[in-house]
């Protein structure tokens, strides 16, 4: 829905807006706009943020953050402390089994005041294993080498690059987390196997296609206990649908990585959905969930195969909350990431299930002359959030 005229007028005359609000989701009655200080403590704020916390080699970011004084991490923490999510998905944060970077970020930056902002305590941190940089032992690009970044199960210069992590104020049920890191692309129904458009031959030979994993990072179902209820954070970071050729192999993979969630919501008893723990089937019926992550697909613009994103947003079990950026450009345009000077698209998402009552949602995107504008160069993405209540 569009903002009211009075809201637009106020937004026009205020010189600096740090957090942008939208009134409601599609097919939902408008709700009163609230400031952060006015929000009911019973509401749950969920956010995703591509923080670009990666380096040129393993361990570089962890070393950089060890003393709690890294400039990039300080800016990222300031953004998060402004929005103050209860549940936060970080994209592009280095992974190791100890969760070194995610824990350091939580303890040495988020739990420490950044400027005049209040600290944030996340007692529950879950670092998600990733396919990025994990060597496949296969020559995936056919150049005769086995050690290029593209030859990993997911593109990465080192193991653990571009991973996911979940930070939460509420308990994460770690022994019931479902991961789909090893799920094979070939086992996906009607998989979009890329082909050469001129010859019609498969881009990946049969022996490679039989081994390829669907997820470029991971698909993960993280159950979180919020009072008497359980919320499933469904997190992923599909591969960018670019950096390939006319066969569009990255676009095909991005499409099916997004479509995986459509099946996971609908195919509760599907025996082909098998997680890394050996459990089959999709999400249980009537479960509360939030789909979150840098999905690398704008449903209208860009290079992705847009039908997957369009169908996911139109799914009967979700609410498409469209955060608005009220900047110099079209105020009705939904934007979460910046590519170059002028190309802005919606590729980061927080999509709640239909049972929630959505209070508001937004994107942290300060206006040009806001004091907070100095924070946004820490990454090329913007933090996206939604405030929900359990009826």
Summarised one tens digit per residue, pLDDT across range 286-309 is 999 999 999 999 998 899 999 999
From residue 295, how far is each of 208, 255, 292, 391 by CA, in Å? 25, 10, 8, 28
Instruction: Please give the Cα distance from 229 to 139 (Å, whole number).
Output: 46
Q: Is the pLDDT of residue 35 over 70?
A: no
- 61 SS3 class: helix
What does DSSP assign to residue 119?
A: P
In terms of C-beta density within 10 A (0-12 exposed, 13-18 middle, 19 or more buried), how is residue 184 classed? middle
The pLDDT of 97-124, averaged and rounded, is 98
- 90 neighbors 102 (Cβ within 8 angstroms): yes
What does DSSP assign to residue 50?
A: E
Min mean pLDDT across 148-157, 299-308, 333-342 is at: 333-342
> Per the structure block, which two tokens stand in for 73?
């991490």
Q: Is the pLDDT of residue 28 over 70?
A: no
Min mean pLDDT across 233-247, 312-326, 341-355 is at: 312-326
The pLDDT of 169-178, averaged and rounded, is 98
> Per the structure block, which two tokens stand in for 343?
């190309």
Q: Which residue has the higher pLDDT, 29 or 140?
A: 140
The pLDDT of 84-102, averaged and rounded, is 98
What does DSSP assign to residue 172?
A: B
C-alpha of 74 from chain center = 20
Instruction: Please give the Cα distance from 153 to 156 (Å, whole number).
Output: 9
Instruction: For strands 229-236 and 124-128, give the pairing.
Output: unpaired
Q: Which helix (H) or strand (E) holds 362?
A: strand 357-363
The string of DSSP letters for 251-309 reads HHHHHHHHHHHHHHHH-TT-TT-B-TTS-BS-PPTT-EEEEEEE----SSSSSS-THHH
Min mean pLDDT across 215-219, 267-271, 320-324, 347-351 is at: 320-324
C-alpha of 168 from chain center = 15
What pLDDT score does 15 carry? Answer: 30
- 53 neighbors 89 (Cβ within 8 angstroms): no
The pLDDT of 276-282, averaged and rounded, is 98
What pLDDT score does 41 carry? Answer: 55
From residue 103, how far is each of 107, 142, 196, 284 by CA, in Å? 6, 38, 44, 30
From residue 245, how far is each of 197, 291, 346 by CA, in Å? 10, 30, 23
Instruction: Output b/e per residue, 322-350; b: 16+ Cβ within 10 A.
Output: bbbbbbeeeeeebbbbbeeeeebbbbbbb
Provide the CB-side half-sphere exposure for 305 (13 A, CA): 18
Q: What are the backbone angles phi and psi of residue 82, rounded to the nearest 5°?
A: -75, -45
What pLDDT score does 38 carry? Answer: 40
The candidate with the shortest Cα–Cα distance to 25, out of 351, 255, 261, is 351
Q: Is the pLDDT of residue 29 over 90?
A: no
Instruction: Please give the Cα distance from 78 to 286 (Å, whole number).
Output: 36
**Could you give the domains of the chain?**
5-389 (3.60.10.10)
C-alpha gyration radius of the chain: 20
In terms of C-beta density within 10 A (0-12 exposed, 13-18 middle, 19 or more buried), how is residue 18 classed? middle
Identify the band that residue 230 occupies on the pLDDT scale cut at 50, 70 and 90. Answer: very high
Q: Is the pLDDT of residue 20 over 70?
A: no
What pLDDT score does 342 carry? Answer: 56
The pLDDT of 111-123, averaged and rounded, is 97
Q: Is the pLDDT of residue 37 over 70?
A: no
What does DSSP assign to residue 107?
A: I
Q: Is the pLDDT of residue 362 over 70?
A: yes
pLDDT, mean over the chain: 87
What pLDDT score does 335 carry? Answer: 64
Identify the band that residue 391 occupies on the pLDDT scale cut at 50, 70 and 90. Answer: confident
The pLDDT of 1-7, averaged and rounded, is 34
- 36 SS3 class: helix
What pLDDT score does 105 carry? Answer: 98
The candidate with the shortest Cα–Cα distance to 194, out of 261, 255, 144, is 255
> Which position has the token pair 């031959």?
201
> Per the structure block, which two tokens stand in for 97?
């089994």
Q: Is the pLDDT of residue 340 over 80?
A: no
Mind listing the pLDDT tens digit for each residue in 212-223? 999 999 999 999
What does DSSP assign to residue 59?
A: T
């Amino acid at each position: 829905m569009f903002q009211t005229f009075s809201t637009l007028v106020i937004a026009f005359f205020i010189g600096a807006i740090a957090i942008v609000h939208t009134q409601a989701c599609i097919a939902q009655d408008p709700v009163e706009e609230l400031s952060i200080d006015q929000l009911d403590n019973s509401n749950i704020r969920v956010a995703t943020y591509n923080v670009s916390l990666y380096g040129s080699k393993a361990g570089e970011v962890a070393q950089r953050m060890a003393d709690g004084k890294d400039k990039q991490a300080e800016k990222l923490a300031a953004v998060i402390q402004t929005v103050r999510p209860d549940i936060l998905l970080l994209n592009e944060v280095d992974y190791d089994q100890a969760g070194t970077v995610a824990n350091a970020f939580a303890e040495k930056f988020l739990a420490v005041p950044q400027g005049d902002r209040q600290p944030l305590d996340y007692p529950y941190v879950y670092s998600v294993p990733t396919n990025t940089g994990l060597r496949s032992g296969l020559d995936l690009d056919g150049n005769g080498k086995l050690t290029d970044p593209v030859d990993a199960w997911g593109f990465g210069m080192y193991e653990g690059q571009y991973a996911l992590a979940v930070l939460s104020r509420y308990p994460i049920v770690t022994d019931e987390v479902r991961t789909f890191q090893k799920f094979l692309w070939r086992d996906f129904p009607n998989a979009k196997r890329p082909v050469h458009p001129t010859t019609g031959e498969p881009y990946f030979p049969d022996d490679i296609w039989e081994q390829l994993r669907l997820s470029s990072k991971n698909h993960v179902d993280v159950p979180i206990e919020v009072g008497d209820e359980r919320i499933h954070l469904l997190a992923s970071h599909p591969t960018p649908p670019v950096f390939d050729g006319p066969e569009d192999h990255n676009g095909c993979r991005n499409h099916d990585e997004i479509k995986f969630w459509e099946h996971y919501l609908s195919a509760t008893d599907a025996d082909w959905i098998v997680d890394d723990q050996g459990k089959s089937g999709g999400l249980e019926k009537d479960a509360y969930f939030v789909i979150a992550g840098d999905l690398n697909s704008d449903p209208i613009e860009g290079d992705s195969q847009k039908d997957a994103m369009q169908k996911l947003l139109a799914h009967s079990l979700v609410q498409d909350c469209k955060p608005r950026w009220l900047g110099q450009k079209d105020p009705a345009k939904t934007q979460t990431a910046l590519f170059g000077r002028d190309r802005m698209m919606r590729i980061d998402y927080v999509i709640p299930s239909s049972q929630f009552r959505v209070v508001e949602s937004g994107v942290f995107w300060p206006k040009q002359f806001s004091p907070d504008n100095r924070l946004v160069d820490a990454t090329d993405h913007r933090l996206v959030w939604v405030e929900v209540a359990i009826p």
